[in-house]
């Protein structure tokens, strides 16, 4: 069951499923409605939540493409404007580098927060669960149509087992999607940590090099003495 306030997925209440031995047909119908409702609400959750990934994903991808295209066009535009006597002395190199850097930063942001990958995962998971739901409905009709009225104990067991398997399949799909998210999150976190450490090491090396250059210049100035 989907908790709309918490925007999370949870199971039905413990007393949601009850079995009345005197009314097996009604109990089987209640079981079917319960498992179908939980599956349908889970599917709706994925279809609804995918928009939270879809919108930023498309925005980032479009902006990154526009920035990359702008970086490629920047030298041409600058040269054309220089031909009209404008932007003289302007170098298009830094401008193009800035645009490419911004595009790369947006792509990194998308990867770090998993907007595009999450959007794809949600769509695939919802489609997979929808297929499971349709298969369950057809199997249930097939099993129920061949049952007696009321169903025998063996026929009841087959229907209950099919509902149980359906619930397990839905939970397996949910668990698989969660594992994919966890693995992606850990991978992105490790890569981000690696990149940050690399940048810090490069910055530290740069600072140390500047300090050595300043110290070398000071020694040279001291060796030359006052003029």
pLDDT digits (tens, 9 = 90+) for 22-53: 888 889 999 999 999 999 999 999 999 888 88
pLDDT of the residue at 227 = 55
As given in the structure block, the two tokens for residue 184 are 């992606």
Residue 105 belongs to a domain? yes
SS3 2: strand
CA distance 16 to 80: 72
Residue 222 belongs to a domain? no
Per-residue confidence at 112, pLDDT binned at 50, 70, 90?
A: confident
Mean pLDDT of the 15-19 span: 72
Residue 132 belongs to a domain? yes
Say which residue, 20 or 4, is predicted with more confidence. Answer: 20
CA distance 103 to 93: 15
Say which residue, 201 or 64, is predicted with more confidence. Answer: 64
Domain count, the chain: 1
Question: Is residue 5 predicted with pLDDT exceeding 70?
Answer: no
Residue 157 belongs to a domain? yes
CB atoms within 10 A of CB 34: 17
Residue 69 belongs to a domain? yes
Give the closest residue to 133 by CA, choosing from 159, 158, 157, 169. Answer: 169
SS3 8: strand
pLDDT of the residue at 124 = 94
Residue 117 belongs to a domain? yes
pLDDT of the residue at 14 = 61
Percent helix, strand and coil across the chain, each to the nearest 5: 85, 0, 15
* pLDDT, tens only, 180-210: 988 887 787 776 667 667 766 776 777 777 7
SS3 5: coil
Looking at the chain, the number of H-run helices and the number of E-run strands are: 4, 2
Residue 208 belongs to a domain? no
Residue 101 belongs to a domain? yes
* pLDDT, tens only, 124-174: 999 999 999 999 999 999 999 988 888 888 999 999 999 999 999 999 999
Q: Which domain, by its residues, includes 150?
A: 2-186
SS3 9: strand
Please confirm whether the linkage preceding 150 is cis (ω < 30° from 0). yes
pLDDT of the residue at 88 = 64
List, in order, residues 6 or more apart from 61 with CB less than 8 Å away.
Answer: 110, 116
* Cβ burial, residue 107 (10 Å; 0-12/13-18/19+): middle
């Amino acid at each position: 069951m989907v908790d709309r306030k918490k925007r999370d997925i949870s199971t039905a209440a413990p007393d949601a499923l009850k079995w009345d031995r005197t009314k097996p047909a009604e109990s089987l119908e209640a079981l079917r409605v319960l498992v179908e409702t939980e599956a349908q609400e889970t599917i709706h959750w994925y279809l609804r939540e995918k928009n939270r990934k879809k919108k930023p994903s498309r925005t980032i991808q479009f902006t990154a493409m526009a920035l990359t295209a702008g970086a490629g066009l920047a030298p041409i535009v600058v040269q054309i404007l220089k031909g009209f006597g404008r932007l003289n002395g302007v170098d298009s190199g830094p401008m193009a580098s800035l645009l490419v850097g911004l595009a790369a930063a947006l792509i990194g942001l998308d990867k770090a927060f998993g907007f595009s990958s999450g959007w794809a995962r949600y769509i695939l998971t919802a489609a997979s669960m929808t297929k499971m739901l349709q298969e369950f409905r057809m199997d249930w009709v097939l099993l129920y149509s061949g049952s007696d009225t009321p169903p025998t104990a063996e026929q009841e067991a087959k229907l209950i087992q099919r509902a149980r398997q359906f619930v397990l399949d839905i939970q397996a799909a949910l668990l698989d999607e969660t594992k994919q998210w966890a693995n992606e999150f850990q991978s992105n976190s490790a890569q981000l940590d690696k990149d940050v450490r690399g940048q810090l090491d490069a910055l530290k090396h740069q600072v140390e090099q500047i300090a050595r250059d300043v110290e070398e210049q000071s020694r040279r100035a001291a060796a030359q003495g006052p003029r």
